Structure formats: C-alpha cells, structure tokens
Amino acid sequence: MYKRNSLKNMEHCPLETIDDRWPLYLNIKKRTILRMHTRAERILRKKALVKVEKTLSKKRYKCLHEGCEELAVKSHSQQKNGPLRSIADDNNKVYRLDDDLQRSYELDKDDFKFNFALKGIVESSVFPGFCNEHEKLFSIFENEEITGNNNQQFCALFYRTHCYEKSRKRREVDRWSQLSKDFADIYGGPQYSIDTAVQAHRKHIRNTSDYQIKIAYNMIKNGDYSPLTTKHVVIPKNLNVSCSSTINLHLDDFPAYAAKHPDSPLPGFTFNLLPGKQNTHIVFSWLKEFDTYAQWLNEAIENEDQFERFLNRFAFCDSEDACINPTLWNSIDSEQVIKNMHHTYVRGKLADDMIPTIIEL
C-alpha cells in the first residue's frame, strides 16, 4: 500500500504514473523545492506562472486528426449544446476545476490551492483538438441520440476522448517545459522533479495516447469497430454531472503495472457521462486487447450498488474533468472532492468510505 503524503514513494515512482494531476501534488516536494522560498522568489514564481498561462492561452496547435495540417479550433470534450447545457444553471454556467496555475498559486502560503470555479459552458471543457472539418466527425453522436448498438458513435466518442487526453498532456509538456527553465533561473539550478514530469507526459503521449488514437483512427477510416469493447448504460434522469475522461483499468494499483511494462500502453478505458434533460447516457469503451483487465468493470456495471460507487469515483476521484450543476455542487463537501482528486501518491489508496456520493442512481 502506498503511504499517504510519502515523499519517498513520489521520488521512486515510474514515469508513467505521473498524470495530469501532477500540479495538484506539486507541494509533495515542499521539503526540497518550496519550503525555503523567500518572498522575492515567490514573487518571481508568480510572475513565471502568469507568463506561462498567458503563453498557453495564445498558443495555436494543429488538428489532432492524422495527416491534417490545419489549425485546431476550440473543441469541446463535452458538447456545449448537449450535456453542458443540460446541467447548466439559468445563466448557462457550471462548476468545473480551475487548473490555471497562476490563479491557484497562493503567494503568501507559497502553495497551490485548487478550486472548482463557476464558468460559462462556452469556456468549459474546451481544448485545441480539431479543425472545423474534422469536428464534423463527432456530429454522429452530438446531433443524433446515442443508441445501444451504434459502434460508429462509440468509436467516435472513444477517439475524441483519447484526443482530449493527448491535448491535455501536450499542454502540460509545454507548460512545465517553460516553467522548468524559468524556475531554474529563479532558484539557480535544474528542476529535476519538473523535468521528470515532462518526460512522463511525453512518454504517456507516445506509449498510450498515440497508440490508442491510431487504433481508433483506423477503425473510423476502415469502418471496422471490432477492436473496441463498449458498455452503454442509460439512466432515466439527468444526473447533473458531465464528464469525459480516460481512466486506468488498474486504478490505484497502476504504478506496479507501469513498472513491469515500461514500454507498453497502459490499459485504460474512456468514461463519458452524457446527461440530457430526460436521460443520462454513460459510455465505457476500451480496446478488446484489454478485456482481461476490464473484468472487474464489467462486474461493477451489473451491480447497482457498485455501479453508483464507481460512477462517483470515476467522476470525482479518478478524473478532474467533471462539470457539475451549480445547485448540486453547492450542496456537497467540495473540499473532500478536491482532496480526492489528488494523485494516488498524495491521497493514498481510496477506500470506499472516501468516495463521495454525489451522483445518486
């Protein structure tokens, strides 16, 4: 079992175990990076964070569709006029995690404090994914009702979710590559923990994201969806939570698998929570080659109590991509939700009683 807040565990973790929540547990290195910062250094740190976030906001990326050289537009991982509008308040706003580092950095405490922020649906779940032409690939599930036997819909959703994951990793590479240079100037030397995280994101893109995106692309291109396994559940009500994420099939135990298979893709599944006014579609998809690792998930889907618990875990503990109806968000313990979103090496392994019950079936 991994000890909670263990600096030793963090220092010896395999590269593949560092995910997009890495900034959320940056303070684990406080003894070696943060503790001795002077106020002058903290001011420079804040300026570096402002600078990198401003740079990222202006950066343009190419479309993620293979062979396309067009610039990506602002894609939505969760459809603006579908799931997001279904859970928004009267002002078309939802709560989502604010992962802007310069807003999250508290200069006086020399630490990061992450919060959910009330944001408009136009700016929520946005990523530089596809050009206007290749955005049309997703009309098959955005403009049509998702059905239980439409493998073309499931594959397109699987494809977009993995591309969203790659886009997030790509952003983190750019963000932390720049911060590594800026922090080295501030603190007078290399920032090894940051460089390790950058390597981890690059490796994940290469070994896991690109691997699965390529297979999804070929399925779409050839119209052969046999490499994909999908489980589709319809809940006859609006759950008021929307999510699009990739999750490891080993959950908190994935570091051991990653250490044994350093050059292989991590077995995972895409998790899409798609609420509408009357129904909520829940779609799980993974490559058939990972069926062996997904047996527990198949069993959980068939058990109502387990299913509810895992839905809450996936949306609020294993992902940071959830968008939530404001009324629902204001009714829960938000501090516990944010705590559970920290990386395994910080929060420890999740026990059942740590998982909040926000989604009720």
**pLDDT tens by residue, 165-179:** 999 999 999 999 999
Name the pLDDT band for 37 (thresholds 50, 70, 90). confident
pLDDT for position 2: 28
State the Cα–Cα distance between residues 248 and 254, nearest whole angstrom: 7
Residue of 182 and 16 predicted with greater confidence: 182
Residue 265 has pLDDT above 90, yes or no: yes
- In this prediction, residues 330-350 reach a mean pLDDT of 79
Q: Cα separations (Å) of 280 from 79, 126, 243, 261?
A: 13, 21, 11, 36
What percent of the chain shows pLDDT beyond 90? 66
Residue 120 has pLDDT above 90, yes or no: yes
pTM for the complete prediction? 0.90
- In this prediction, residues 108-132 reach a mean pLDDT of 91
